[in-house]
Structure 1
Amino acid sequence: MSGNSPPRGHIENVHGDSQFAEALRSAIRSSGLSLDRIQARLRARGTPVSIAALSYWQSGKRQPERNDSLTALAELETILKLPAGSLLALLPPPRPRGKQAAPPEPPVTETVRFERDVLLGLLTALGAPDALDQEQQLTLVGLHDRCRVGGDGGQQSITTRAVFEARTDGQDRWLLIYNSDDPSAGPPTLTTVRNCHLGRQQVDTGNGLMVAELLFDQPIRRGDTYLIEYELANAGPPYPTCNRTHWREFRRPIREYLLEVHFNSANIPARCQQFAKQTGHKHPRMRNLSLDTRCSVHAVAIDFGPGLFGIEWE
């Protein structure tokens, strides 16, 4: 291989106030990885960082300062095949706080894939600005996702069955939040399959983000359970890229989550792994999975959350 880029595992000698940003930018360029791919690998390691944050770090507009960001930085060094601590050593002192401080880096604990302000804008437009913080009147008892991967490795569809238990009388809807790994492909088509119908919906095509109301066919009373089923289908082929992973972020505990991933026989992965990272834990728990005779794998989480749970493949 020829060219002016430094070999993987090393950092260029850079000088000036933006040593960290220049070194990170150079290492990313040398790795050949897109920010999407880097973000997916960080998430699989249990140290999620938004693409916006990665972009700000390499541009020098912001820098990792919080404990979770510094933990992610150590994983980033491994992903970019850099010596341990080499990026950390280039970080300048933390920036001052208060009225003269720079804006804080994009949050990674509130949401994994996008900035909280982006989501709040959609929720406000939908008429539910307090949905993230208000006390939930529905408990998600069980969830079953079936993700179909196309022959080109993209995400063909996701079929979901969800079971809720009402904490108060009169519960009649659930708010769906969906984020695509490939915003350029456009939003998927949301179809209600049983026991619900589509209410208000808002889409941010630039961020690949969708929020929608799934209205129950009838209100339910306190203590009652309710089952709904819906599908998100993408146009294709080619299907939107999914960074070889499917996952859920659970902001609250769930009793049972079942995830199935079905692969097209034309594109069978060499390896599949389950990953689970509880909020507050430094590293995810990983577990190898075996394909069944129908080219599928599954993983089950019992009494899980808050945290991330999913399947990745190579």
Structure 2
Amino acid sequence: MSSAFVLSLPVSDRDRVFLDQRLAEREELAVALAYGPFHRALDLSVRASGLTLERLHAKLSDQGVAVSIATLSYWRRGLSRPQRWVSMRAVQALERVLDLEPNALIGLLRSGAAPAQQVSALAGAGDRAARRLIGPLEGQLQPISVRQRCTVDASGVVRSVTSTTVCQAQQAGVDRTAVVLARGDGLRAVRWSSPTQRIGRVLRDDATGALAVELLLDRPLSRGQTCMVDYEVGFDSTGPTEPSWGISLRAHCREYCLSVRFTGETPPAVVRRTWLSAPGGSPVDVTDLPVDRASGIAHFIDFDLAPGGYGIRWEVG
């Protein structure tokens, strides 16, 4: 006869926080290695190894690989990327020193940032990872002007949205932003593209369908500098969807313009502008909106907007 027992030791709050942090760091590294960008995957890998750049440089030298500490620092911060074959050889050596799978870093250089043309392939990172993606970026860029164009099919379902935002850096060194799509209905983003930014991590909470997309700027911004953030997203429906579209502003915005184009032969019976004062509340109808018969478009534009939700809803007959 054999017996087994489990020895349960008490875990202090401090130890529990440490363990949760280590788990979060491992998840973050796994996401970076899977989706990039290269410099973030390298940075997190170096942190996980516990090596300083000086020790990393020394270990590379031991393998006969000559790469300066300054170059390693530039790669790690995204100020430059390995391109020549000599640099690629150094990246392969980094994979060995950092105990990574072969081609873990090289693969990110070959493919660039994840194109996210098929979002479903990048799903499953979970809500906790999405919060970690958005949290550090909160308040770094403030929207000045937002223009969104929404296309709706004959059954009243949103099929695509194109967005252009002019943002201003609230601090020096801002090099990325993130966009969150969270509706809680059957609408799912299946295609994503950006003509002006490289796409970094793409994370989705499978339970709710919430999507977080990291957009990488061309270069770090100085405080007060502006940039344009563009993206287009295509949708599919996996269940009932809310007949509406809008934006949730977390900061003051000078201008917001939303246009909705209805592609059906008959425009919706009801089209109204809505306003939401706080997350989790119910939108309030503000006013009826006319639909242009020639184009099938309804729109509104507003200025000096306080934080809150602004949008358009419709009722198909």
Task: State the TM bucket, normalised to the shorter chain.
Answer: 0.5 to 0.7
**Residue identity in the other structure for 1:143:** V
Which of 159, 162, 186 is residue 159 of structure 1 equivalent to? 162
Shift of 1:155: 1.1
- Which position in structure 1 is the counterpart of 2:203? 202
Which of 174, 189, 192 is residue 191 of structure 2 equivalent to? 189
**Residue identity in the other structure for 2:161:** I
Shift of 1:265: 3.0
SS in 2 for 1:128: helix
SS in 2 for 1:266: coil
- Which position in structure 1 is the counterpart of 2:12? none
**Residue identity in the other structure for 2:133:** A
SS in 2 for 1:223: coil
Tell me the distance in 1 between the aligned counterparts of 2:240 and 2:271: 17
CA contact (8 A) 1:155 1:240 kept: no
- Which position in structure 1 is the counterpart of 2:220? 219
CA contact (8 A) 2:272 2:312 kept: yes
Which of 110, 121, 126 is residue 128 of structure 2 equivalent to? 121
Shift of 1:186: 4.2
Q: Following superposition of structure 1 onto structure 2, how do residues 165-176 of structure 1 map, counting pairs within 5 Å?
A: 165-176=168-179
Shift of 1:304: 1.2
Residues 180 and 250 (structure 1 numbering): CA distance in 2 closer, same or farther, change over 3 Å? same
CA contact (8 A) 2:184 2:210 kept: no
**Residue identity in the other structure for 1:264:** T
Instruction: Write out per-residue CA displacement over residues 177-233 of structure 1, whole angstroms, 9 at most, x where no aligned residue.
Output: 1124544x643211112x211001111122111111011122221111101211011
CA contact (8 A) 2:274 2:283 kept: no
CA contact (8 A) 2:153 2:263 kept: yes
Count of residue pairs brought into register by the alignment? 189
- Which position in structure 2 is the counterpart of 1:287? 287
Where structure 2 has 5 or more consecutive residues not aligned to the other structure, the ranges are 1-124
Shift of 1:276: 2.1
Q: Following superposition of structure 1 onto structure 2, how do residues 35-184 of structure 1 map, counting pairs within 5 Å?
A: 121-124=128-131, 127-128=132-133, 130-131=135-136, 136-183=139-186
Tell me the distance in 2 between the aligned counterparts of 1:201 and 1:289: 35
Identity %: 25
SS in 2 for 1:173: strand
Residues 198 and 241 (structure 1 numbering): CA distance in 2 closer, same or farther, change over 3 Å? farther
Residues 278 and 180 (structure 1 numbering): CA distance in 2 closer, same or farther, change over 3 Å? closer
SS in 2 for 1:188: strand
- Which position in structure 2 is the counterpart of 1:231? 232
Task: State the TM-score, normalized to the length of structure 2.
Answer: 0.54
**Residue identity in the other structure for 1:230:** Y
CA contact (8 A) 1:154 1:241 kept: no
Tell me the distance in 1 between the aligned counterparts of 2:179 and 2:141: 13
Shift of 1:279: 4.4
CA contact (8 A) 1:197 1:215 kept: yes
Aligned alpha-carbon RMSD (Å): 2.8
Where structure 1 has 5 or more consecutive residues not aligned to the other structure, the ranges are 1-117
CA contact (8 A) 2:130 2:204 kept: no
